[in-house]
Chain A
Amino acid sequence: MSLALIVALPFLGAFLPGLMIRSGRNACAVSAGAITSLALVMLGLHAPAVLRGEVIQTRIDWLPQLGLNANFFLDGLGLLFAGLILGIGLLIILYARFYLDRRDPMGQFYTYLLLFQGAMVGIVLSDNILLLLVFWELTSLSSFLLIGYWKHLPEGRQGARMALTVTGMGGLAMIAGMLILGQIVGSYDLSVILQNKEAIQASDWYLPALILILLGAFTKSAQFPFHFWLPHAMAAPTPVSAYLHSATMVKAGLFLMARLWPVLAGTPEWFYIVATTGLVTMVVAAKIALFKDDLKALLAFSTVSHLGLITMLLGFGTQAAATVAVFHIINHATFKAALFMVAGIVDHSTHTRDLKLLGGLRRAMPITFAITTIAALSMAGIPPLNGFLSKELMLEEASHTVWAGIPWLLPVLATIGALFSVAYSFRFLGHTFLGQPRSQLDHPHDPSVGLWGAPAFLTLLVVLIGLFPMLSAAWLIDAAASAVTGEAVAVNIYHWHGFTAAFWMSVIAILGGFVLLMLHAPLNRLWLATPRPEAKRIFDGIVEPLAALARGLTQRLHDGALTRYFAIATVAIVAAGFAAFLGGAHSPGLRPETPVEIVPLIGWFLLIASAAAIVSFHRNRLLALVLVGVIGLIVSVGFAYLAAPDLALTQISVEVVTVILLLLALNFVPKTTPFESTRLRRGRDGVIATLAGLGSGALIYALMMRDSAFPSISGYHLANAKTEGGGTNVVNVILVDFRGYDTFGEIVVLGIAALVIFALTEAILRAGPANDRLLTWVQDQRDAGDRHPLMLVVATRMVLPVAIMVGVYIFLRGHNEPGGGFIAGLVVAIALVMQYMASGFAWTEARQRVDYHALIAAGVLIAGAAGVGAWFTGTAFLTSDFGYVTLPPLAPFELATAMIFDAGVFLTVLGAVMLALASISRIALRAGEKVNTAPYDTDLPDGEVR
């Protein structure tokens, strides 16, 4: 369970910073840090076992039918990556606290960061490739939010969009590749897939799967030619760049290649695709990095280059090279995260990141200078720092790897890559801190320890791993490399290998890099003079026409004409229905027709006549409403006739409330509809309506004349209503017991609908065009201006207690006889609405003791509490219990916990109906209702009219 918890923790904790920001920026950062630390500690508890070579597993069945399970496993590779993600995450959280400006929404930042962190940890701990894909896409989405964090900057938004497009497309390709892989093996579990090297490499589908998966990995890890998104993502705040591009997001592609290394690597296809791509990326990006003037752009291309280096090592397909790749992953994360943070510090204190403007900062910023020196020298591969160790090993691997029969190609290109790497590292250091300032800088200074603490810690690691690699890193490399290669690895890292090929390549790289930097000025002029492909322009050139096409299509289909959408939808549904009926097999309708009696037939004629009248006279809106009322009445009588007393009661009470609502609203729309549709249009609509009517009528007729294809579940409900639910009204027992969970959901929906109505009313009544229109509302019919009839006022007040009594009665008998919470709620609501109608809004509101919002809340809470109560008896949510109670002098009666639930239903229905009515009444008040605005009481002196 604990592994799933480590993954879930950042997601669960993502809400915390958003809330804690109310207590200040420190509390916000501390909450994010606490979540990460907790996850890190939980990971650390597993570390000893993993380092002993054990694999920790957590298995949770999710959708086993699809092969999708929430399975997690932790081996050396997972431990390395999860440790990097959480550890560097913690440092970034510290750094960001001091980096972000007071105006930046910090709560949002940490929330996004934790979401991203959770997705990354999910990738590295997943034992199911489908689950891994879910997390993979989540990193794309959450990194989109992080890169575009500064929403006011167009570069930020564009960079985020480009990153999402490129990595998202790669992710799509990868989904296909993973599915093929799963099909070959017959399982989506990584631990199973990793055991099936022979089956995968022998399959005809190996190459397609390989290419598709590598597309995902290469786009994520910014490999050539997909490298262009990464520099554009530098528009993100520096903590984001430091996190995403040193230890996490871009390493996800490397992780995937390392994870699948045992089954995919070792073939010529793997070698030529992966090693070549890595090699090209390493050299090309290192060259571009040298000519970038922006500190972060330089680091971005340097990152691309180092990712290429690691990809190349993985591509070699040998155990030794893969081990070096793992080592370099650690080293790159340490020095690159530190350098990104340094770039942020320089930006913070000088307000520029342009190398052409910087220089000579060593005196003003000694601490930053020290940190940068160590990290940059490590990046350049200068002994004895950790970057030197892994680069030397890389050169060693490259020196004896033959590419397509050409033995000198790989060593030469690797040396050139290293040479550029030395040059840009020195440039980063030299042009920022050494020499003289190239422009007037505004009091550069070292920042507070909050900002330099994190990079200083990382440089400490750089030095430690550099000086004592066997002590500080070898154990982790052994565990991770063993997991990558599937064989036990025991590395032996030392500084001096003798005068080997790698040594001379290293010397050439360092000296050549130095010379290159000396020649930087003329070379830069040459670079600027030569034409270069502008990635962003090419990308936009591809994306813009596609976006325009999509936009055009959308605008054509969604032209805002509601009736058109509805006509298309209706025709499509009717056509689908006819096609299904004509194309599918079905038995003939053999059920006997129930005889028709004369009285129902009269009601039927009335209903049809009313419907026809509505269709003909709907322009007269009041008449249409009256006719709706007539139809509703007939429908409720029909329910009673067709053995559904509960439905009849519900329908008739809903009918009353609906008609009152419609009448209230009718006050604010024209009373008649203009005659505007063309003959053609009406003909078309007539055909569609006729088809829909014919279709639905024919369908239900066909259904009614046949028996159900499957045995009905109703028998169970009838047989168990009394014994299990303790009631004889089966409909009510279904509502409050068998299907209580559905009902619970429904009253929540009802409550939400009422709250939305209230909120919309508030919006209408707020100052604005709607409110202005209400204030200047002119009735298109003259008001009679009379006060409400006294008889009605008196009668409704006398009826109120009786009506409430009836409501209570209907509620209490509901479990056994027709009735229940829904109907009782509606009946009481009608009794209250009568007060509004008779005595006016103001009078009623003045006497209203309980807020309708509170009624809804109480109803939902009581219903929920009734459900939770079942837990205390060890049964599932909403299981009801019942018993018989004897209260002398009453006869023994029955009490069921379902009654409590039903009381919740009652309160919610009452509150929701009343809130809806009261909201619309408020609109009437605003529109300047002239009668019944003041309390109308029977004890007014004669002749006084308010």
Chain B
Amino acid sequence: MELTLAIAIGILFGSGVWLILRPRTFQVIVGLCLMSYGVNLFIFSMGRLRMGAAPILTKGAEIDPSRYSDPVPQALVLTAIVISFATTALFLVVLLASRGFTGTDHVDGKEREQ
């Protein structure tokens, strides 16, 4: 499973970088979305993988930390997901503003000879 997940993260990250390197604003935002998936999965995986061991404690039982998956990266990623939403929304408005003020959706704010 580790290898599969690592490949997925690599592909998400690589695709994100590719899109961010495109010269149009829309692609940059889509690229950022893909990159944030990759980054979130990356941080999450830092806690090492475990299936079926959600960090929800069983009531009344003795707590054995080794029986649960790592909750700290999960808490980090939860906030990261919400913040990346905020960033995406912010960039969207920046995109609209840039398009509105310059009349182009090129990332440099002007059409450029390639």
Interface residues of A (CB under 8 A from B): 560-563, 566-567, 570, 591, 593-596, 600-601, 604, 607-608, 611-612, 614-615, 618, 621, 624-625, 628, 631-632, 635, 638-639, 641-647, 650-651, 654, 657-658, 661-662, 665-666, 668-670, 673, 676-678, 681, 685-686, 688-690, 692-698, 700-701, 703-705, 707, 712-715, 717-719, 721-722, 728-731, 734-735, 739, 742-743, 746, 749-750, 753-754, 756-757, 760-761, 763-764, 768-771, 773-774, 816-818, 822, 826, 909, 912-913, 916, 919-920, 923
Contact = CB atoms under 8 A, between A and B. Distances in A.
A608 B6 CA distance: 12
A381 to B, nearest CB: 65
Given A677-B22, A693-B15, A729 B79 contact: no
Contact of B52 (A643, A676, A693): A643
Given A661-B89, A668-B99, A730-B57, 16 more contacts: A563-B23, A596-B1, A632-B37, A646-B78, A647-B77, A661-B92, A668-B96, A685-B22, A694-B14, A697-B10, A704-B49, A728-B58, A735-B78, A753-B90, A769-B101, A923-B96
A701 B86 contact: no
B4 A601 contact: yes
Contact of B86 (A563, A729, A754, A771): A754
Tell me if A's interface is mostly helix, strand, loop or mixed. helix
A416 B70 CA distance: 82
Nearest to B48: A704
Tell me if B's interface is mostly helix, strand, loop or mixed. helix
A693 B101 contact: no
B107 A714 contact: no
A778 to B, nearest CB: 13
Interface of B: 1-15, 17-30, 33-34, 37-38, 40-42, 44-59, 63, 65, 68-72, 74-75, 77-79, 81-90, 92-97, 99-101, 103, 105, 107-109, 112, 114
A920 B82 contact: no
A718 B63 contact: yes
Contacts of B5: 700, 704
Given A570-B17, A642-B69, A742 B79 contact: yes
Given A595-B1, A730-B68, A822-B78, A757 B89 contact: yes
Given A566-B20, A773-B103, A608 B8 contact: yes
B100 A773 contact: yes
Contact of A608 (B11, B33, B100, B112): B11
A754 B9 CA distance: 29
Contacts of A604: 4, 7-8
A650 B78 CA distance: 7
B65 A628 contact: no
B26 A718 contact: no
Given A615-B15, A718-B68, A658 B10 contact: no
Given A593-B3, A746-B83, A818-B56, A920 B114 contact: no
A763 B59 CA distance: 53
A552 to B, nearest CB: 20
Contact of B45 (A601, A703, A749, A761): A703
15 contacts: A563-B22, A604-B7, A615-B18, A618-B19, A647-B77, A662-B88, A673-B24, A676-B23, A689-B17, A693-B10, A714-B65, A735-B79, A753-B86, A770-B101, A818-B56
Contacts of B50: 642-643
Nearest to B54: A643
B71 A731 contact: yes
B51 A753 contact: no
B110 to A, nearest CB: 8
A672 to B, nearest CB: 10
A719 B63 contact: yes
Given A643-B50, A673-B22, A704-B48, A697 B72 contact: no
Contact of A669 (B19, B37, B57, B95): B95
